[in-house]
Each structure stands twice: as C-alpha cells, then as structure tokens.
Amino acid sequence: MRLFTYLLPILLFLSACGGGEQQQQEPQTTEPETQPAQAQTEDVRTIDIIGVDQMKYVVKEEDELIGTAGTIKTSNGETYLLLKNIEADPGEQLRIRLTTVSDLPSSAMAHNWILLKMGVDPADFSKAATQAKTNDYIPQDRTGDIITHTDLAAGGETVEVTFTIPEETGEYDYLCSFPGHFTGGMKGKLVVQ
C-alpha cells in the first residue's frame, strides 16, 4: 500500500512527460525478466559428481539423497567420498554435473555418465561401448538402451545433463563407458522411489 502510493506520483509523472527518468523505470522493467531464469536454474536439484583417475565416481560432501561408501584419496591430495547410488523421485528434474579431475591426456582418461533403461545389463553395454571410440564411447546401435547421458569430460572439464527421472520406480544402472572404467568400478544405481 505504501509502495503504491509512493509509485503513483512517479507513474503519473512518467506518463505525463513521455518517459523521462529512466532510473525510476529500470527496476520495474528488469525484475520480472530476470527472476524466472534464476528460479529455473536454482530449482533443479544438481548432483556434482567428480570422476577420478582411480576409475570411480566420487563426491565432495554428504547428501541425504546420495549413498556413499568409504573415501578415496587422489594424487592431488584431496579426499573424496565414493559415490554408490543416487536417490530420486519419479518425475523429478535432476541435473548431473560431472567434473573430471586428472592430469592425464583425454585419450588416456576421460569420463562420462550414462543412465541405462531399467533391465539393461551394464556390463554388456560397456563391452559394446569400447567399440564406439569414434562416437565418444556411445554405441550408436545401443542408443535405445540409454535414458540420458553426458558428453565425455577430460581432465579439468565439466559436463552436465538435465533430465526427468522416469516414472517407474526401481533401480537404474549408470556407468562410465570409457574403456575399462565400468570394470574398474565406475558405476552405480539410480534408485527411483
């Protein structure tokens, strides 16, 4: 109420002189435009995952919706938590942000995050993926088995994917398809419940 009575004379003034003082007008025009964009970014739950040379997905902090098992120390002296699984609600929007920590060249060390449809054998999928080097280890004849995936991230790079969690509850396998990484333990379960 007080704001309105304060603004009214200004609005009357502006309409009277055909848009004089821009300083008064600016907050009114910019606020509604920037707010929805900010809200959209902040609303999506984001899980920051780090891929390390030990061929593991790790995280920096505990979170009640992710499961961890033990710690791992990397060559740069950082200690991380080993990521085992991620919990999510059916239909939820989720962002996976994957950063690779490595000093190795991309040909030797890069990671991705691939979420498979329920029931797809991750070992079988990773075997097929090793033959798909020219397509960043995404086997083109198996795209029907994938719900979503990130690009490959080499050392120092971050990739992300935002997607909708399937409605069907249960466990979905995720893995890194860089050769040897699945068998090295770069895998986990997305638990939808």
Q: Which residues contact Cu ion (rule: CB under 5 A)?
A: 111, 176, 178, 181, 186
Which is closer to Cu ion, CB of 129 or CB of 186?
A: 186
Using CB atoms within 10 A of its CB, is residue 19 exposed (0-12), middle (13-18) or buried (19+)? exposed
**Rounded to the nearest whole angstrom, what is the least distance from the CB of residue 55 to Cu ion in the complex?**
6
Q: Are strands 170-175 and 114-116 parallel, antiparallel or unpaired?
A: antiparallel
Residues 162, 167: Cα–Cα separation, whole Å: 16
* Residue written as token pair 């050769």: 179
Helix (H, G, I), strand (E, B) or coil at 108: coil
**Rounded to the nearest whole angstrom, what is the least distance from the CB of residue 51 to Cu ion in the complex?**
5
**Rounded to the nearest whole angstrom, what is the least distance from the CB of residue 178 to Cu ion in the complex?**
4
189, 85 contact by CB (below 8 A): yes
Give the residue among 48, 56, 52 at the shortest CA–CA distance from 175.
56
Which is closer to Cu ion, CB of 112 or CB of 192?
A: 112
Q: Which residue is nearest to Cu ion (CB)?
A: 176
**Rounded to the nearest whole angstrom, what is the least distance from the CB of residue 180 to Cu ion in the complex?**
8
176, 184 contact by CB (below 8 A): no
Which is closer to Cu ion, CB of 14 or CB of 189?
A: 189
Which is closer to Cu ion, CB of 125 or CB of 178?
A: 178
**Rounded to the nearest whole angstrom, what is the least distance from the CB of residue 57 to Cu ion in the complex?**
8
Which is closer to Cu ion, CB of 49 or CB of 165?
A: 49
Residues 25, 21: Cα–Cα separation, whole Å: 7
